[in-house]
Structure 1
Amino acid sequence: MILLVISSIICLQAYEIDVNTFSNYLDVHNRHLHLEWLLNMDKKYINATSVYTFQVVGPQINKISLDIYKLNIYSTYLTNGLLLPHTIDSPYADSDQGQRLNIQLDRTYYRGEYIELSIKYSIDSKSRSISFMTKEQTSTKTMPYLFSQCEDANCRALAPLQDTPAIKQTYTATIIFKDTEAADVFMSANESQDQFLILNKPQDEPNFNWKYKYFIQEVPIPSYLIAIVAGNIEKKKTSTGGRTYLISEPDKIVPYADELKDMEQFLLAIEDYIGPYTWGTYTLVIQPPSFPIGGMENPLLTFANPSIMTGKGTGLSVTIHEMAHSWFGNTITCVNWANMWINEGFTVFLERKASFTHYNSTDDIKLNAIIGNTSMYQDMLGYGLNSNFSSLHPDTTGLNPDDSFSEIPYEKGFQFLTYLEQIVGQDDFKQMLRAYLDQYKYQSIDQKEFQNFLLRYLQEQDVKDFSTKRYKILENWDKWVYNPGLPPVILDFSTNKLTEAQEYCDGYIRADGQQPTNWQDYDNFLQTQKLIFLEDLYKKAENNLLKLNVVDQIDKDLKLTQENDFELKFRWFRAILTAGDKNRLTQVAEFLGQIGRGKMVYPVYRALNQLDHEFAVQTFQTHEAFYHPIARNNIRNILGLRDSFIQ
């Protein structure tokens, strides 16, 4: 067992509590987790044992409480074999957050003592953190496929855990699998060089061999970053001499690797701004299309939706974003999901700094910020401008924190940091961020601690006009963090490229179903200009200004219904459905069965539901088995089918 001892242990009681965990994490911390899993991918089942090393941090304890979600718990026992009694309860009548596993200890343990115990359990298809796919759902159609998705609080469906970002632990894992069910298995950890093929074939099933792999994660990480992928997959280096790798199904790996040939350059661009990458290698997994999000920043094993692979490199901003999480989110982590912007806002800020270094396009960065602001505002309208979910500090007491997931922590957080940068100055702000990473490396913090550090740093560095800057920083801090709705200070991201895209949209509206003279300008637009054009088209549709004859002319000129770039395609479908177009419902339904990324399917389902509820429900029922459990749940909610949710 590998146990990394951290010299400085943070006092979590000084930070905000996590309302989304049932564990007694303020009294006892898990320092190391070992997983032993036997995969049965055909039967969608995992036979599991988890082994824990807990340390008492409160005065004393006589029980340990952990988070679980629909796990089958068989036994709990100390490593010396002594069985411990356990009970399961649900603190809330609505079990969407899961249940609490209470383990009664053999005696009272006191501050500083360690407790080693084990839990035998199993995972089945009811899990919302593990997606079991049949071989028919994969590209190669030769083996079943398995992948995890744990953020926000879904790792409790992977193992009994202190499922809170406040707790970081090292972990190891032994994964046993059939060679007929998976060509390989990878986790968010380093692979041991000792990997064995068990040659003894089972007498009742002689047509396969057992394989096993051993993984070691020596850096402490929160539970939501534990990740696994298994199936007909292979690993390939993306550049000679670089640190970056790609994993995908073998039929896709060559074109994917070609499109991702600049991954090492992305990493260098981020390092140029923020400092060295400390995780060793970087591996990106292009998942099957049912993966519910654009990307997930699991250390050493980032997951991404195939919608980022456009063949033109236009979707690779997701890659830069997930890389940037290696510094913000993975190295420094939010202490609870009310502080998610500590992960996401910082990452968007770093992503855009690195994108400028790599692409050297101020216009592109500004347009990205405008597009992000539009998405943020739409999410705010969805929650309500007065809802605390439209603030940077959502209250999810009694709720699954997934319910508050939106663009708001990303974009409002980015704008807040940009506002602070304008006060502090670009160079001083960059140096502050580097010092911030050094100070809180491998820790979890809240926004108040960041505020304290920022002010302390500026004072210690004797930054020019410190008193004035301190006043400006504190003047609007609480408004930025706690107030719902739009930011208290509106930032200017305007550019001539924005005006060009907006005027292009207006030109089609004025042409009233005819071809505008400048229609070919679209081919020379930046990718972000195309997105602005489609966002503007959606606004026109909302205001009843997008006529169906205009829709037909745009599609005739730009062929957007046949577009392969899903960032463009979902915006097109959302706009035309809002305009009342029923002529392309077949193509809309096909699109909704091709991709499971929430960012893309949720807006289209909302627009389709408004236009034709019965067709929207029929489309969902046709593709329901394709979607990840998280996406299925959210789409049911959009369609008003949430009461029928059974999992």
Structure 2
Amino acid sequence: MSQTISSTIQPNQDPHSFSKPQEAVLKHVDWDLTIDFDKQQITGTGVYRLEHSQRLEVILDVKDLTILWVKLDDAPSEEEFTLSAPVKHLGQALRIPIQKHTRTVTIAFETTPQAAALQWLAPEQTAGKVHPFLFTQSQAILARTWLPCQDSPSVRFTYTAKVKVPSHLLPLMSADNPQQKNANGEYLFQMDQPIPSYLLSLAVGNLEFAPVGHRCGVYAEPETLPDATYEFADTEKMLEAAEALYGPYLWGRYDLLVLPPSFPFGGMENPKLTFATPTIIAKDRSLTSLIAHELAHSWSGNLVTNATWNDFWLNEGFTVYFERRIMEALYGHDYAEMLHTLGYQDLQHTLQELAATPQDTCLKLQLEGRDPDEGLTEIAYEKGNYFLRHIEQQVGRQRFDQFVKNYFSTYKFQSMDTTHFLEILEKELINGDEALREKINANAWVYTPGIPEGVEAPHAAAFDRIREQLQHWKEGTPPAALHTQDWSTHEWLYFLRGLGPNLTKDKMQELDQAYSFTQSGNSEIVAVWLQHAIENDYAPANARLEEFLTHVGRRKFLVPLYKALLEKPDGRQRAKAIYEKARPNYHAVATSTIDDMLQK
């Protein structure tokens, strides 16, 4: 990179954190944690190493967390601390007075039943039905609900953790992990690369490990492990393809953990250990672009991190772009273009949904005073990707690849905000070329609602034949007579999305009889089909809908289905009845969204 701008970024204050890292910042933490399944509680201590200016206070974020005591350095006596009044979404500021010479603060704490990051699962909620399970979800600002931290993506630290669990269970973290249980249930974890708090993770369950490459492996319950290892067999190839594009993988191992179905996301890019939903196990490796996505986060997000959640597109736009480059390298241009085209459809749908709040369709978000999860839309993901594809088209792939590779290398293990990124884009890629600046039109993409005019939409040639078959069906050709042999999941999704509204029961029934959509084991396909079933009052799918909503906790599927129910005349009562049964199986990330939907 050019020397015209600094390779060290100093972000502004994060509106979603009380901490003031410019005055006193965490650099390393040594945690000692005990996991109690009977009490459903984590108790622990953390020794926090600080760097600070002459300010005599360190501020941490906590929410629904009990602070037992605080000590400074090696002092035997407890130190006074204060907790601010609770603030909606943010929790409380934990303020600890320190001395000019203070280097460590030790904090004892315990979680409460309200800890939104934690999901404690009873044995019947797991694949094996015998042992309990615990997992965390710290993104965006939920790490503060299970341990004190400076809960901002602009603060990075290394850590160790001693973790005590029941001896028949295995704990895993976003760190170097054991591959088998030991006799005493005590484990030591180490993370030598600095990470932000939202990438802190912990899972505890009856887990086993299987390798799928010399740097990659899969953890899962024994009942799930064979299908998972088959599904994720190409992980090492993905890792090699990613390195060939944008430089070496700097995290050591890349392993996957398959969680119970209540996990609220498709995946979570916890460093060294991606958390993954079992809903991507389709038994044909057709949904593994999600693994490419989480792997790509090892560069975009984990290596160069959005400084605040207003800059979320810098994590997700780059990751979607990178994910599809990995899939193109492995499976070809046509495959990647199908992903881009489906993503573009998702983006158009989101733009329609957010029409009443157009500022939420800018890449640079304004989330102060709001839950940062409100920024988790296709704007960050697909508009961000679309913008980067647009830049690539203007400068050429080779030149853009060199820019991205240098970007990851120069700013690794740092946080990046939108303003600084645009400065880098200007100085390292546009480089004074006025015509190119106008073509890229970065400010319009970043600060203006919607999509700039005149930008070409993606087109997957593989979908042309799907449109042809759709047209035949709409003109009366029976489904069984359509040419659907060897269609991929992506082609079926395009077909289902193109069915249109107001389908008769007979039309729904003939499709279902021909293709068994209601009983499909592919979660992506069945989720779209069930939406059609709700909208068109297709009663034969009612039992499958209830089963799906009761057992699957992935928010991507839940929200459209509950929304479709609420739009039906009798739907609110039906949605509430299903939700009453299903809610205990959902993580707080999902329940907070659906609670709001059902209360409106």
After TM superposition, the score normalised by the length of structure 1 is 0.88
1:278 is the counterpart of 2:250: yes
Per-residue displacement from partner, 1:616-645 (whole Å, max 9, x unpaired)?
11000011111111111111122226xxxx
1:192–1:559 distance in 2 versus 1, CA, 3 Å: closer
Structure 1, 406-415 or 253-262: larger mean CA deviation: 253-262
Among 540, 543, 552, which residue is 1:595 paired with? 552
CA contact (8 A) 1:42 1:144 kept: no
- Amino acid in the other structure paired with 2:552: I
1:104 is the counterpart of 2:79: no
CA contact (8 A) 1:86 1:101 kept: yes
Measure the CA separation in 1 of the matches of 2:95 and 2:514.
63
Please state whether the residue corresponding to 2:389 is helix, strand or coil.
Answer: helix
1:251 is the counterpart of 2:216: no
1:433 is the counterpart of 2:419: no
- CA shift at 1:380, angstroms? 3.0
- CA shift at 1:98, angstroms? 1.8
Per-residue displacement from partner, 1:305-335 (whole Å, max 9, x unpaired)?
0011100111111111111111111111010
- CA shift at 1:363, angstroms? 2.3
CA contact (8 A) 2:9 2:416 kept: no
Measure the CA separation in 2 of the matches of 1:291 and 1:598.
9
- Amino acid in the other structure paired with 2:298: S
1:76 is the counterpart of 2:70: yes
Aligned match of 1:309: 281
Measure the CA separation in 2 of the matches of 1:458 and 1:494.
26
Aligned match of 1:381: 352
Among 501, 504, 528, which residue is 1:571 paired with? 528
Aligned match of 2:493: 531
- CA shift at 1:403, angstroms? 2.1
Among 446, 457, 462, which residue is 1:481 paired with? 446
Equivalent residues in 2 for 1:35-74, closer than 5 Å: 35-57=31-53, 60-74=54-68
CA contact (8 A) 1:386 1:484 kept: no
1:357 is the counterpart of 2:319: no
Measure the CA separation in 1 of the matches of 2:451 and 2:537.
29
Please state whether the residue corresponding to 2:45 is helix, strand or coil.
Answer: strand
- CA shift at 1:467, angstroms? 4.3
Please state whether the residue corresponding to 2:299 is helix, strand or coil.
Answer: coil
- CA shift at 1:294, angstroms? 0.2
Aligned match of 1:206: none
- CA shift at 1:597, angstroms? 0.6
- CA shift at 1:385, angstroms? 5.2
CA contact (8 A) 2:72 2:102 kept: no
- Amino acid in the other structure paired with 1:56: H
- CA shift at 1:602, angstroms? 1.2
- Amino acid in the other structure paired with 1:163: D
Instruction: Give me the identity figure in percent.
Output: 30
CA contact (8 A) 1:76 1:118 kept: yes
Measure the CA separation in 2 of the matches of 1:517 and 1:228.
48
Among 510, 521, 528, which residue is 2:475 paired with? 510
Aligned match of 2:3: none
Aligned match of 2:587: 628
Please state whether the residue corresponding to 1:370 is helix, strand or coil.
Answer: helix
Aligned match of 1:472: 439
Aligned match of 1:638: 597
Among 107, 128, 146, which residue is 1:140 paired with? 128
Structure 1 portions without partners, runs of 5+ = 1-7, 198-209, 642-647
1:523–1:31 distance in 2 versus 1, CA, 3 Å: same
Measure the CA separation in 1 of the matches of 2:410 and 2:7.
13
- Amino acid in the other structure paired with 2:542: L
1:196–1:506 distance in 2 versus 1, CA, 3 Å: closer
Equivalent residues in 2 for 1:21-420, closer than 5 Å: 21-57=17-53, 60-80=54-74, 81-90=76-85, 92=87, 95-105=88-98, 107=99, 109=100, 115-180=103-168, 182=169, 184-191=170-177, 197=183, 210-239=184-213, 242-360=214-332, 362-384=333-355, 386-420=357-391
CA contact (8 A) 2:179 2:209 kept: no
Measure the CA separation in 2 of the matches of 1:466 and 1:506.
46
- CA shift at 1:46, angstroms? 1.0
1:44–1:488 distance in 2 versus 1, CA, 3 Å: farther
Measure the CA separation in 1 of the matches of 2:494 and 2:140.
30
Measure the CA separation in 2 of the matches of 1:506 and 1:215.
57
1:388–1:91 distance in 2 versus 1, CA, 3 Å: farther
Measure the CA separation in 2 of the matches of 1:510 and 1:450.
50
Measure the CA separation in 2 of the matches of 1:195 and 1:250.
13
CA contact (8 A) 1:166 1:335 kept: yes
1:394–1:454 distance in 2 versus 1, CA, 3 Å: closer
- Amino acid in the other structure paired with 1:535: R
Instruction: Give the count of matched residue pairs.
Output: 592
- CA shift at 1:16, angstroms? 3.8
Please state whether the residue corresponding to 1:452 is helix, strand or coil.
Answer: helix
- CA shift at 1:194, angstroms? 13
Measure the CA separation in 2 of the matches of 1:331 and 1:23.
22
Measure the CA separation in 2 of the matches of 1:64 and 1:419.
43
Please state whether the residue corresponding to 1:54 is helix, strand or coil.
Answer: strand
Please state whether the residue corresponding to 2:466 is helix, strand or coil.
Answer: helix
Please state whether the residue corresponding to 2:203 is helix, strand or coil.
Answer: strand
Structure 2 portions without partners, runs of 5+ = 1-5
Aligned match of 2:484: 522
Please state whether the residue corresponding to 1:284 is helix, strand or coil.
Answer: strand
Structure 1, 266-275 or 489-498: larger mean CA deviation: 489-498
CA contact (8 A) 2:480 2:514 kept: no
- Amino acid in the other structure paired with 1:47: T
CA contact (8 A) 1:266 1:358 kept: yes
- Amino acid in the other structure paired with 2:207: I
- CA shift at 1:153, angstroms? 1.1
- Amino acid in the other structure paired with 2:38: D
Aligned match of 2:14: 18
Measure the CA separation in 1 of the matches of 2:269 and 2:409.
20
Per-residue displacement from partner, 1:150-182 (whole Å, max 9, x unpaired)?
1111111121111110011001100011214x2
Measure the CA separation in 2 of the matches of 1:144 and 1:489.
54
CA contact (8 A) 1:412 1:487 kept: no
Please state whether the residue corresponding to 1:303 is helix, strand or coil.
Answer: strand
- CA shift at 1:456, angstroms? 2.4
- CA shift at 1:114, angstroms? 5.4
CA RMSD of aligned residues (A): 2.1
- CA shift at 1:434, angstroms? 1.0
CA contact (8 A) 1:415 1:491 kept: no
1:448 is the counterpart of 2:415: no
Please state whether the residue corresponding to 1:550 is helix, strand or coil.
Answer: helix
Measure the CA separation in 2 of the matches of 1:579 and 1:221.
47
After TM superposition, the score normalised by the length of structure 2 is 0.94
